[in-house]
Amino acid sequence: MNPLLVVIVVVFALAALLTIVRIVMGPSILDRAVASDVLLTEVVCVLGAEMAINGHTRSLPVLLIIAAIGVFGSITVARFVAVKESRTP
Amino acid sequence: MTLDQIIDLTSLVLILLGAVLCLIAAIGLLRLRDVPARLHAATKPQVLGLILICIAVSLSLREWHVVAFLAVVVIVQFATAPLSAHMVGRQAYRNGRLDTENLVVDELGQAGQNEAPRR
C-alpha cells in the first residue's frame, strides 16, 4: 500500500476528530454551527479523495448536492439563534 | 517513471494538501478564541481545499466531462460559502460572541445603532 495513502487517511481522520471535539466543547451554538460546516467540508473532501484514489465517478452528484445545499444548515442556525443565549458566555 | 505515474502522484500530493488544509482548519477551530476568528479558520478548506481536491480528481480521472462537472461544483461552492460565513458572523456580532477588547476598529458599531450588539 502506498505510504502516501496512509498519511492522507490519518490526516483526514485527525482533522475530523478535532472538529468533533470542537462540536462537543463549543461554548455557543454558533461555534457548533461553524464546526459542523467544517465537518461537512471534510466529508466532501473525503468523498473527492476516495473518488480520485479509486478512479470512479459515482460520488460526483453527491459533491454537487452538498456544495449547493450544505450552506442552509448554518444559515438556518444563524438565523434562529436565540439572542438570550449570549448572556451566559 | 511514465507520465501517467507522475500525474497520479501529483493527484495524491494535491489530495494530501487538501487533507492538510482540513487539519489546519480543525486546529484553528480548537485554538482560536471567538466565533469570527474560528470562522476565519473554517472558511479556508471550504474553498481552497475543495479546489485542490477537485483538481486532484480531474488529474486522476482525466476525462473532460468530469472536469466540467467539478467546475460547476467549485462555482456553486464559491457562491454559497460566503453566505453562511456572512450570516454566522453577523449573528455572532449581534449576540456579543465577539472579543471586543482586541478589535482595532469596530465598523459595525460605528455604522449605526441598529447593528449594535443587543444587551
Min CA distance, A43 vs chain B (Å)? 10
Q: Give the pLDDT confidence score for residue B114 in this predicted structure.
A: 52
Are B22 and A42 in contact (CB < 8 Å)? yes
Residue pLDDT tens, chain B, 119 long: 788 899 999 999 999 999 999 999 999 999 988 888 888 888 888 889 999 999 999 999 988 999 999 999 999 999 988 888 888 888 888 877 777 777 777 777 766 555 455 54
CB B87 within 8 A of CB A74: yes
CB-based contact A34 B29, cutoff 8 Å: yes
What is the torsional sign of CA B79, B82, B85, B86? negative
pLDDT digits (tens, 9 = 90+) for A12-70: 999 999 999 999 987 888 889 899 999 999 999 999 999 999 988 899 999 999 988 88
User: Helices in B34-106 by DSSP H: which ranges?
Assistant: 35-44, 50-61, 64-95
Alpha helices for A26-82 (secondary structure H)? 29-54, 60-69, 71-79
Indicate the Cα dihedral angle A38, B61, B75, A20, nearest 10°.
Answer: 0
pLDDT score of A87 more than 80:
no
| Domain coverage including residue B90 | 3-115
At A89, is the pLDDT very low, low, confident or very high (cuts 50, 70, 90)? very low
∠ CA B105-B108-B110, nearest 5°, is 70
Residues of chain B with Cβ-Cβ distance to A16 below 8 Å are 22, 26
Residue with cell 481536491: B53
- Kindly report the pTM of this predicted structure: 0.85
Among the partner residues B16, B25, B77, nearest to A38 by beta-carbon distance: B25
- The complex's ipTM works out to 0.85
Residue B119: the pLDDT is 46
Say yes or no for a CB contact (<8 Å) between B19 and A49. Answer: yes
- Most A CBs within 10 A among B20, B72, B95, hence the mutation to make, goes to B95
Q: How many domains does chain B fold into? A: 1
